């Protein structure tokens, strides 16, 4: 199901499903983002824990889940996470997926550790989500990924990569992007555009979900076998060898059955060469035998700016002058 696209003056509900913005630069950015989005006419509601932290997360797993459920049941148009983190998976036992299936679908947007909801809401409940920027990312005038996230939420369908990305980060917490690296997509077995349902997220989180009771991937793939699947993947902390092992795990759990292609982003360990191989080589070593198109080094991942992705949406992927182009298709069967 596809949630309703937003209109002007939409209501955004910020929640701390993982990490809270209790200190700089996250707190500064969230405050600036609230002011920025409010100035654009959006109505902002804040969850109880967005400015708090208790150890490595905003609060207990049960309370974080309760905050998300309250937001999802509210009259808001979008539930948006304020941050990533490390242990968001621990909220999943408290998320009533069967009850969520019966509610009007609502956009949830988050990134990195929020794969634990962007992926499960899509694969368990068959609800589209957005793998995209956290609320504090909106501290600047809309550009690149934040602009495209709003465009996605409004229902626009055509998106292009950015051509450049940022490796060096300014120490000023409210600094603009410094795009100092050229995007150079590496393609393998790509001959023409390919289409399917987009699913995926942060590989670090996906391997934690794999094989648990929250893993409904094979059922989801089978339910959409006529359309096929496009996996979008990126890693946060995994080195090259860990990426290779992670893909072995997912492949042998039958996650890549009926896959039409892969789009692979950049990790924090972009320049890693563990045991003499790069992340790109690790992906290719693990995936090339599937014999589908693989596009690496796309503008997706933990090195900004990253294209937001409609997880669960039908899309067509193609290269235009070695630049990534995503074209979404709105099926009438997906409407809520």
68-108 pLDDT, tens digit per residue, is 999 999 999 999 999 999 999 999 999 999 999 999 999 99
Q: Structural domain of residue 151, as residue ranges? A: 11-157
Q: Which of the four pLDDT bands, split at 50, 70 and 90, describes residue 229?
A: very high
Is 5 part of any domain? no
118 and 202 in a single domain? The answer is no
218 and 246 in a single domain? The answer is yes
131 and 178 in a single domain? The answer is no
Last residue of a domain, one of 141, 157, 173: 157
Q: Is the pLDDT of residue 191 over 70?
A: yes
% pLDDT > 70, the chain: 99
Is 2 part of any domain? no
* Per-chain mean pLDDT for the chain: 96
Q: Tell me the mean pLDDT in the region 194-199.
A: 98
231 and 186 in a single domain? The answer is yes
Give the residue from 106, 29, 37, 101 showing the smallest Cα distance to 75: 106
* Whole-number pLDDT of residue 306: 97
* Whole-number pLDDT of residue 90: 98
127 and 212 in a single domain? The answer is no
* Whole-number pLDDT of residue 169: 65
* Whole-number pLDDT of residue 172: 80
116 and 173 in a single domain? The answer is no
Is 195 part of any domain? yes
Last residue of a domain, one of 124, 157, 190: 157
Is 164 part of any domain? yes
* Whole-number pLDDT of residue 146: 98
Q: 221 and 229 in contact (C-beta within 8 Å)?
A: yes
Q: Is the pLDDT of residue 127 over 70?
A: yes
Please give the tally of structural domains in the chain.
2
Backbone phi, psi, residue 296, to 5°:
-110, 160
Give the residue from 204, 18, 213 showing the smallest Cα distance to 114: 18
Q: Is the pLDDT of residue 145 over 90?
A: yes
Q: Which of the four pLDDT bands, split at 50, 70 and 90, describes residue 35?
A: very high
Q: 37 and 44 in contact (C-beta within 8 Å)?
A: yes
Q: Tell me the mean pLDDT in the region 293-298.
A: 98
Backbone phi, psi, residue 153, to 5°:
-65, -30
Q: Is the pLDDT of residue 32 over 70?
A: yes
* pTM recorded for the entire structure: 0.97
What angle do the packed helices 279-287 and 240-252 form, to 10 degrees? Answer: 20
* Whole-number pLDDT of residue 124: 98
Is 196 part of any domain? yes
% pLDDT > 90, the chain: 93
Backbone phi, psi, residue 120, to 5°:
-75, -40
Q: 280 and 248 in contact (C-beta within 8 Å)?
A: no
Q: Tell me the mean pLDDT in the region 20-36.
A: 96
* Whole-number pLDDT of residue 331: 78
Q: Is the pLDDT of residue 203 over 70?
A: yes
Last residue of a domain, one of 157, 189, 216: 157
165 and 301 in a single domain? The answer is yes
Q: Is the pLDDT of residue 170 over 80?
A: no
176 and 203 in a single domain? The answer is yes
Q: In what order do the strands lie in the sheet with 323-329?
A: 158-160, 323-329, 314-320, 194-202, 229-234, 259-264, 294-296, 186-188
281 and 148 in a single domain? The answer is no
Which of the two residues, 324 and 333, has the higher pLDDT score?
A: 324
* Whole-number pLDDT of residue 60: 97
Contacting residues for 55 by C-beta, under 8 A, at least 6 apart:
none
Is 68 part of any domain? yes
Residues comprising the chain, all counted: 336
Residue 111 is part of a domain; what is its CATH number? 3.40.50.10740
* Whole-number pLDDT of residue 174: 86
Is 70 part of any domain? yes
Q: Is the pLDDT of residue 230 over 80?
A: yes
136 and 198 in a single domain? The answer is no
Spatial distance between the Cα atoms of 283 and 306, rounded to a whole number of angstroms = 19
238 and 203 in a single domain? The answer is yes
Is 1 part of any domain? no
149 and 241 in a single domain? The answer is no
Q: Is the pLDDT of residue 171 over 80?
A: no
Q: Is the pLDDT of residue 269 over 70?
A: yes
């Amino acid at each position: 199901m596809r949630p309703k696209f937003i209109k002007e003056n939409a209501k955004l509900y910020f929640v701390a499903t993982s990490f809270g913005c209790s200190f700089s630069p996250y707190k500064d950015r969230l405050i600036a983002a609230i002011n920025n989005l409010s100035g654009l006419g959006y109505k902002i509601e804040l969850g109880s824990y967005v400015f708090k932290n208790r150890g490595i997360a905003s609060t207990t797993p049960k309370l974080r889940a309760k905050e998300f459920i309250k937001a999802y049941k509210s009259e808001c148009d979008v539930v948006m996470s304020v941050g990533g983190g490390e242990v968001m998976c621990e909220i999943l036992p408290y998320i009533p997926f069967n009850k969520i299936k019966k509610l009007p679908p609502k956009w949830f947007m988050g990134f990195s550790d929020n794969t634990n909801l962007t992926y499960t809401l899509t694969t368990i409940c068959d609800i589209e989500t957005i793998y995209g920027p956290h609320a504090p990312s909106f501290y600047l005038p809309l550009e690149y990924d934040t602009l495209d996230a709003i465009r996605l939420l409004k229902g626009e369908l055509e998106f292009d990569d950015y051509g450049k990305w940022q490796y060096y980060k300014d120490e000023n917490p409210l600094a603009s992007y410094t795009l100092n690296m050229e995007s150079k997509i590496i393609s393998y077995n790509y001959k023409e555009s390919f289409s399917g349902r987009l699913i995926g997220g942060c590989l670090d989180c996906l391997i934690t979900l794999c094989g648990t009771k929250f893993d409904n991937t094979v059922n989801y793939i089978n339910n959409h076998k006529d359309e096929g699947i496009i996996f979008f993947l990126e890693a946060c902390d995994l080195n090259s060898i860990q990426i290779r092992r992670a893909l072995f795990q997912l492949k042998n759990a039958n996650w890549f059955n009926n896959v039409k292609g892969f789009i692979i982003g950049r990790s924090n360990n972009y320049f890693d060469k563990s045991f003499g191989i790069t992340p790109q080589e690790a992906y290719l070593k693990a995936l090339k035998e599937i014999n589908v198109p693989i596009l690496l080094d796309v503008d997706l991942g933990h090195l900004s700016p990253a294209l937001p992705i409609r997880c669960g949406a039908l899309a067509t992927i193609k290269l235009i002058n070695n630049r990534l182009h995503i074209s979404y298709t709105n099926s009438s069967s997906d409407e809520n």
